[in-house]
A and B are shown apart, each in its own frame.
Chain A
Amino acid sequence: MTTITVNGKPHQVDAAPSTPLLYVLRNDLKLNGAKFGCGLGQCGACTVLVDRQPVYSCVTPISVLEGRQVTTLEGLGTPDNPGPVQRAFIAEQAAQCGYCIPGMVMRAQALIEHKPRASESEIRDYMAPSLCRCGTHMRILRAIRRAMKDMRTASVEGAR
């Protein structure tokens, strides 16, 4: 048994320690936000956050997650109450087929948390590991810039 903490909740998982986190999220915990793309850490569709940093869940064994915090797409918001990055992706209609989008949202979330005023080239560099084959990159970039603005405004309002 391995214990992993996902979106703040501890889960006892009955799987081999070397099982990739992605399989446990989707098959055991029924958290289907993260997608299986290549299974080789090349495309980014499976991206989740571990201790608020992006990782490829398809090549991250659950054994390494003891005492660490996993955040998935489901941890950012719900369909009724999406988080700010999710709202921005919806507002910009950034998805075409949508398969890469959960990974894009998670990577964007990490970027904005660590670098809320990232420049255009910093955004592009940071997002480069996540691939989109439909070609909605321009909308994805717009969504990230919108989310940055929204989150800055929100934090200013929160400070008042």
Chain B
Amino acid sequence: MLLRVISVLVLVAVVAFGGFYAWAWHSEIAPVRPVDASTYDPAIVAKGAALASIGSCVVCHTQAGGQAYAGGYPVETPFGTLYGSNITPDPDTGIGSWSQAAFRRAMHDGVDRKGQHLYPAFPYDHFTHAADTDIDAIYSYLMTRDPVQQQNREPALAFPLNIRLAAAGWQLLYLRRGEFKPDTAQNAAWNRGAYLAESLGHCGACHTPRNALGAEKKNEAYNGGIAENWHAPALNGNSTAAAPWTAEAAFQYLRTGWDAHHGHASGPMTAVIDGLAKAPESDVRALATYIASLSGTDDEAKSRRADAALKAAREKTPAIVSLASLQATTGKSGNTNDGAAIFVGACASCHRSGSQTPSARPVDLGLSDAINSPDPGNLLQIILSGIHPQARERGFIMPGFSTALTDAQIVALAGYVRTHFSDKPQWTGIDARLTEARRKTGS
């Protein structure tokens, strides 16, 4: 009897695995010989360039100091580290031997030219919603880049995730194919923005929380997530932004990385802004329209609340004519871990009202998402490392304080800043997050 039960179970397992394997199996798509770049239509290439900027492709497919699109960028996930692949048209190490059909399959189905499953760190759960014509334009753009010979790095994943078929199982559970369906109740700009955000822009990859298997929780879309140890703020009704996001504010922020009601982009968002700065303005406006609508569409009411938040934040910003007068009146406890004294000595020379700093444009801290966020991690990373422009680019500078301040002092400073500038409850566990942030920033 027992033997019979076991054999039935084994049979079921074999049939199930066979079915799964048959479902998961993809044939190789024959390699093609690269054609001369001049055969591609320049207008299509330009369209592909714009879409690739919106998709921030260059970020994960370029390693620090490396050549664009040649791969090697480490993407850290809870499951291990994966490395962006070489997507230059080099026939041996890049995608030079990929046909347009092979490229489409990778974007839509997460399967490479040879039929291997790709791990979802490559966000094909979003790209699957992109229109074929857009994917083809990106293909034309990539195929006209300079080929770079650079071997791909194998992902560092633990068993059983190191077996590529694990990615097929993930796809069975979570990959929902199909092109984006416009919402007829919304206008064209909103639909364009929704299309870009949900497909190539893959905004939810960071701004939506993920489940234990690393898939976005679709019922918690845009509820805030984690990106490379940064907290990606909620963009839906649970947004903690002191000033609500209007379409105009979102446009300023997405286009320039700065908005008067929200301040600077930092962390991984700066790379997104670098891409959007090169995208067509109408597409960035469309994205802003859609993103702002996630937290409500009454922009007039939002503007009024934003102005009220700005006024309240200004009142909390130390209003001083001379720093000396503030130094004489604040943080006189003499305690080395007095957050107020540290703030006045280390921060207030820029973060005060009437500050005229040529190279920085600090926002009133009451508006800062890093300070209003449920997680202190972003603020701690900014205190440690500061804010810096990209190499050889113009931009704003905030110095880092990783060497000037001890851990206890940074914890005290973060606590003071939260209590003084935000109405939100005090943070707990700042010290644990600081230890993590020091490790991540190598400081």
Contact = CB atoms under 8 A, between A and B. Distances in A.
Interface in B313-335: 326-328, 330-335
Given A17-B332, A50-B404, A55-B404, A64 B327 contact: no
A96 interface: no
Interface string B336-362: 101011111111011000000101100
Most buried by B among A20, A40, A50: A40
| Overall SS of chain B's interface | loop
Contacts of A64: 336, 342, 345-346, 404-406, 409
Contact of B397 (A39, A42, A63, A65): A42
Given A18-B331, A19-B327, A40-B360, A59 B336 contact: no
Interface size class of A (residues with CB under 8 A): 20 to 34
Nearest to B330: A18
Most buried by A among B328, B340, B349: B349
Contacts of A50: 403-404
Interface string A40-66: 111000000011011110111111111
Contact of A61 (B328, B344, B359): B344
Contacts of A63: 331, 334-336, 338, 341-342, 345
Interface string A114-150: 0000000000000001000000000000000000000
A154 interface: no
Given A17-B341, A50-B404, A60-B404, A40 B349 contact: yes
A2 B336 CA distance: 9
Nearest to A44: B399
A79 to B, nearest CB: 28
Given A16-B332, A64-B405, A65-B336, 19 more contacts: A2-B334, A17-B345, A18-B345, A38-B359, A40-B360, A41-B398, A42-B359, A42-B360, A42-B397, A42-B399, A51-B403, A54-B403, A56-B404, A63-B334, A64-B336, A64-B404, A64-B409, A67-B336, A68-B406
Interface of B: 326-328, 330-336, 338, 340-347, 349-350, 357, 359-360, 397-399, 401, 403-406, 409
28 contacts: A17-B341, A18-B327, A18-B331, A18-B342, A18-B343, A19-B345, A40-B360, A40-B399, A42-B359, A42-B360, A54-B403, A56-B399, A59-B346, A59-B349, A59-B401, A60-B345, A61-B341, A61-B342, A61-B344, A62-B345, A63-B335, A63-B336, A63-B341, A63-B345, A64-B404, A67-B336, A68-B406, A129-B399
